[in-house]
Amino acid sequence: MRRLTLLTATGCALAAVAAGAAGATNECRGLQVCVPVAGPWVLAPGPAQTQYQLSCPPRFVVAGLDAELTSKLIDVLFFGSLGTPVNPGITTSTSAVFLGRLTRGRDPAASFRPHIGCVPASGGGGQRIPTSLHVYPPGKPTTRRVTEITVRPGATRRTVQRCNAGEQLVGASYAVGFYSPKPPTRALATAVRVSRKVTGGRVTTVVRGSRAVAAVRAVVQVDLVCVGGGA
C-alpha cells in the first residue's frame, strides 16, 4: 500500500511522495496545531477520474494532505488554487477535492482513502490586480455543491440535486466510499450500484445497496459543478 503526500505546511511539496512501509499517515507532519480528518475508502476502479471532497471542521483550512492506496497503479491528485505563496488558505481552502484513477486496467475494488490535516484559519493572501483592460486574475468561477447519500442495505434510494437559483450546472460526478478500517473487498465494492441521469439542470441519482453493506457505512457523494450566482 502506498501513501501520497501532496502538500506540506510550507506548501512547497506538491509532488507525490511514496512510502513503502505501513504506518501512520502524514497529513499533520510538521504542523504544530493540526486536526486530522480521514475520509472513506473511495472506489477508483478504472481510468475514469473519481472526485471526492473532504472538509475540515468549521474555522479550519487544509494544510496537509495524504492518501492511502490499495494499488501502486492508482494516481491521486488534488485541486489547488493559483496564488502566491503556495500556502494553506491560498492554495487550499476549508476543503480539498481529491482526484483518483486507476492508471492501468480495471479493478472493481481499487480504492484510495483521502486524509487532510486542518489548521486554524488565519486569512489568506492578497488578491492580484489586473494590469490591463480585459485581463483578469485567476478566480473561482465555479462552485461545488456536494451531497452525500447514505447507502441502505437491501434498499434503493433516489435523490435529485440541482444548482442554486441563478446558477447553471456545468458538470456532475459521483464517488462511492466505505468508512471502514480496511479497504473494501471486491464483494463489498460491487455491493453498491449507482445510476445517474442529467436532465434540464437536474441530476437524478439512484443508489442501490445489497445486504453486503449492512456491516459497514457506505456512502455515495454527488458533486455538482455550478457557475453563476455570485461568480
pLDDT in tens, the chain (231 residues): 444 433 433 333 333 333 333 348 999 999 999 999 999 999 999 999 999 999 999 999 999 999 999 999 999 999 888 777 777 887 788 999 999 999 999 999 999 999 999 999 875 444 443 334 455 455 567 889 999 999 999 999 999 999 999 999 999 999 999 999 999 999 999 999 999 999 999 999 999 999 999 999 999 999 999 998 654
Q: How far apart are CA 227 and CA 212, in angstroms?
A: 38
H or E element that contains 17: none
pTM equals 0.80
Q: Would residue 65 count as lying in a domain?
A: yes
Distances (CA, A) of 214 to 43, 181, 207: 18, 15, 15
- Do 114 and 73 lie in a common domain? yes
What does the pLDDT read at residue 133? 45
Tell whether 114 and 7 lie within a shared domain: yes
| 6 and 116 belong to one structural domain | yes
Domain co-membership, 97 together with 175: no
Residues 56 and 154 in one domain: no
Cell numbers representing residue 147 in the block: 451531497
pLDDT at 142: 84
215 & 110 share domain = no
Q: Which residues span the domain enclosing 20?
A: 2-120
Q: Are residues 103 and 6 in the same domain?
A: yes
Residue matched to cell numbers 490591463: 132
Tell whether 173 is covered by a domain. Answer: yes
**Structure confidence at residue 81 (pLDDT):** 81
pLDDT of residue 228: 84
| Residues 146, 221 contacting (CB under 8 angstroms) | yes
- Please indicate, yes or no, whether residues 178 and 211 belong to a single structural domain of this protein: yes
The gap from C-alpha 152 to its chain's centroid, in whole angstroms, comes to 22
Asked if residue 132 belongs to a domain, the reply is no
Instruction: Please tell me the total count of domains within the chain.
Output: 2
Look at residue 7 in the predicted model and tell me its pLDDT. Answer: 40
Residue type, 34: C
In this structure, how many other beta carbons lie within 10 angstroms of the beta carbon of residue 81? 14
Same domain assignment for residues 95 and 148: no
Contact between 199 and 174 under an 8 Å Cβ cutoff? The reply is: no
Q: How far apart are CA 208 and CA 202, in angstroms?
A: 20
Does residue 90 share a domain with residue 58?
A: yes
Same domain, 96 and 150: no
C-beta neighbour count of 165 within 10 angstroms:
7
**To the nearest 5 percent, what fractions of the chain are helix, strand and coil?**
5, 45, 50
Closest by Cα among 212, 180, 179, 170 to 193: 212
